[in-house]
Amino acid sequence: MGREIRQKHIAILSSVANLLGTAALALAGWYGWGDYNRTAIILMVIGVILLSLTPLATALLTIESETLTAVLLERTRSLAMFTEFTHGLFKLREADDLRITLLVVDRTHEPPILRQQVRCTNTGQKLAGTSTMTIQQGIAGKCFRDVGVAAVNFTGGDFIQHMVDLGFTRQEAKQFERRGAYLCVPIVDSVGEVIAVLSVDVKAPNVLTPDHTEIAEWVTPFFAKYLTQPERGDNRQ
């Protein structure tokens, strides 16, 4: 949103600069070039400068946009690699079907939503899914609201109903793959605000231990470092 506003401002300023530049050149012509009229020369210089602002501003904006895109792409790659590294730290059996998911807070919605950034499974890095949840839903939402570790084991009962009890609609709950346990740890920035949630889930209940919670808490500062670069505003979307 901020970049769109900036582009709009540049477009307006460019239009004004073009208008003033054209007017300055027209006045310079009206004063005439005979005898090197000083006013005409000054107006010509002003007109040329104003007209050159548009391509210059466009070029600078393009360079900045391309640079930021490259930095954000590199940051996503780094987050994916670190998510895969975290997956390896848990040292669970393949049958446990461990999934590590990084959910980034998107505050352009009200209430804010948690959006998948990267995910790692037993087969390695996966493309982030398109599904989202609000901060009022799921174990991840509770983690966000409490700014603390949140965990649950589904030892029995109807999984769909468990999801409904966690704030999802029944239709939303049907889209979830059945899981036995969730562990979520908040990722906070330098002022203690939650910018993301590290979500850990496995196929069966009672697999995740306090040691796994300790691992998840240990890695979150590293995720925070990646997520707050190159600029904090990027995480707010």
**Residue 195 domain-assigned (yes or no):** yes
pTM of the predicted model as reported, rounded to 2 decimal places: 0.68
Which tens digits make up the pLDDT trace of 144-180?
999 999 999 999 889 999 999 999 999 999 999 999 9
The answer on 109 and 223 residing in a single domain is: yes
The answer on 57 and 15 residing in a single domain is: yes
Bigger pLDDT: 104 or 23?
A: 104
Burial, 128: exposed, middle or buried (Cβ in 10 Å; 0-12, 13-18, 19+)? middle
Mean pLDDT, rounded, for 107-128? 87
Other beta carbons less than 10 A from residue 32's beta carbon:
10
- Measured distance CA(83)–CA(179) in Å, rounded: 20
Residue 170, classed as helix, strand or coil, is helix
**Residue 81 domain-assigned (yes or no):** no
Quote the pLDDT of residue 234.
45
Last residue within a domain, chosen from 23, 52, 67? 67
Number of folded domains that form the chain: 2
Bigger pLDDT: 51 or 225?
A: 225
Mean pLDDT, rounded, for 209-233? 82
Band (pLDDT 50/70/90 cuts) for residue 33 is very low
**Residue 79 domain-assigned (yes or no):** no
Domain of residue 20: give its range. 2-67
